[in-house]
A and B are shown apart, each in its own frame.
Chain A
Amino acid sequence: MKTKMKLAALALSAVMAAGPALAELVFPSLSYRTGPYAAGGAPFADGYADYFTLLNERDGGIGGVKTKVIECETGYNTEKGVECYEATKGEGSLVYQPLSTGITYQLIPKASADGIPLHTMGYGRTSAADGTVFKWAFNYPANYWQGASVAINHILDINGGDIKGKKIALLYHNSAYGKEPIRTLEELSKKHGFELTLIPVDHPGQEQKSQWLQIRREKPDYVLMWGWGVMNQVAIQEAANIRFPMDHFIGIWWSGSENDVLPAGAAADGYKALNFHNVGSDYPIFADIKKYVVDAGKAAGSGDNVGTVLYNRGLYAAMLAAEAARKAQELSGKKDITPADMRDGMEALEITEARMVELGMPNFGPAFKVTCANHGGPGKAAVQQWDANAKKWKLVSDFYEPDMEVIQPLIKADAEAYAKENGITPRECK
């Protein structure tokens, strides 16, 4: 009798849990915790999930509506990405963040047709910054072309503004992701008179002997790196092997996490990478994460990534999504927003310093504003440097402004080419 009662209660609670009655804000997370890029995918997914758990536990969701994160494993594979997108889009998904340039290229047309916004923060298709052509895609606060420009600005800064005749090599993942900065760097090399060498590394990048032999032979003054996953670790190790000066080796923001530098040990000391948000766990929000999420046993994954660079990036992505959802609730006047409302919210998003302080993340990232025509944000980024003794990243520069004079025409040209190929008429932005 007793077991029967228990069973009945269990069944009832199962029905209640599965019941549709409660409105939820659904944020799908196309994550990858397996495969050659898992070392980068897992901390990002943890940060993304933990922020929404925190909102649910501390504030009861966004504007009183609970949030729900649906994870789907892609393994950085586009076919699985398609499967994940199709599996989750029917659940009321508000915004997609695939964390893969390949999957982003797939989803830009699909999500636009389905009317679901796409946020590719610091990756994806750079020309999605042109809001007149890419109505549903956003890549604020920074993109690869801005990253390339910031890296060059940093080199200019170190060299007192003159890098004529210097040799700069780009070591890149031989894929859509790694090829993104090439065009910008070519333009910049014309403008500043440096010599650019392109050195591709094929997926997944475990073998880079020949590339580093080439670097050793040609002795570039600086090496820029567009790498991801295991490629970063191998590159830093190889750079150490040929005794390349580490502070002349600058990675993009996806080549600057703890996972990338720790395997090389003390030899990685001084390695630089870009970043568009701050590092470390010295912010009030981390006390809340500890109290409501980690100590409550609700942390995503194994819970040991809190405070790492990529965890912070996941957290930052989730914060921007949550703020956009809040904005959308405000604009539409309803609590339970649709993907279309979410898009309007993202387009009207404004992150101020005051708001960052309220959120417990003072100085975590730059203040910026998204507009109808500019989905890309200001593109400010800073340089962080690895301290191998303290095992910590530290920002060593201010947030640089990218050279939009060079980048804006490129964005416009690429967006126009896309619009022409796909028969899109750019919309008017007031």
Chain B
Amino acid sequence: MSDVSVAPVAPTGTLRRLMRRKLALFGLAIIAVVLGGAVFAPWIAPYAPDDQLFEGLTLFGEPMPPSGDFLMGTDLLGRDLFSRMLYGAQTSLIIGVVANGIALLIGTLVGVVAGFVRGWVGAVLMRFTDLMMAFPALLLAICLAAIFQPSLWIVAMVIALVNWVQTARVVYTETTSLAEREFIAAERTLGASQTRILFKHILPHLVPTLIVWGTLGISVTVLLEATLSFLGVGVQPPTPSWGNIIFENQTYFQAAPWLVFIPGAAILLLALAFNLVGDALRDVLDPTQRGND
């Protein structure tokens, strides 16, 4: 290997080694397509997402299957599904990346502090986490969403607030075992401060776990948003999201399968793409795996 001597943090080296993995490249490509679609939706979309087209329904008022005019067909109200998928990607990416990212951040912070500081601070934090876990997440989300005026960002925040608990639990367990490791004791004998041990020696070891939880969380949060939308407390119609496209149309699944299949496949592919990239990133960032790619 030519780049063994490259410093571990050098982004070029990491990216280069990431690109060398075929599966990671595949994942990156999907993410790039979805991201491009979301950002350039106004220019790419052939129709407005909430435009109920007269020619979008058959003479009997049924949705149109995919065709040259409507790449992905139309929905029950005669709206172009391809356009709705593009705009829906904006919503789903915000939920899957931002909401999930915030949840991960809160979970990591709570878990690491509780696991490293221990004592009564740790006990209070972890009992609160247990309480949150025992509470039905959906019920909590409905309550929160009902109190605030539903909007995309409120929904993202609500999802973040109910999804951090699992991360906190896992990070807590891992932090407590890391804190017992001998190299942490060695750092203490060198006179290292608590913050230095936490940020230089404990957090880097949590990265693999966080990557796994972060990528798993994407599909969970996208689907939670869909559930909330279905119950009327999520993203409000006519704003499209991949989740509410599925839920709006699920009763017509047999008559118009593309209305469920296409957004479902999109969610699956996006989650898979993040998983593949996350896996590869975990290996690339691990110095003990060097030379295996």
Q: Do A and B bind each other?
A: no
A contact set with B: CB distance below 8 Å? none
B contact set with A: CB distance below 8 Å? none
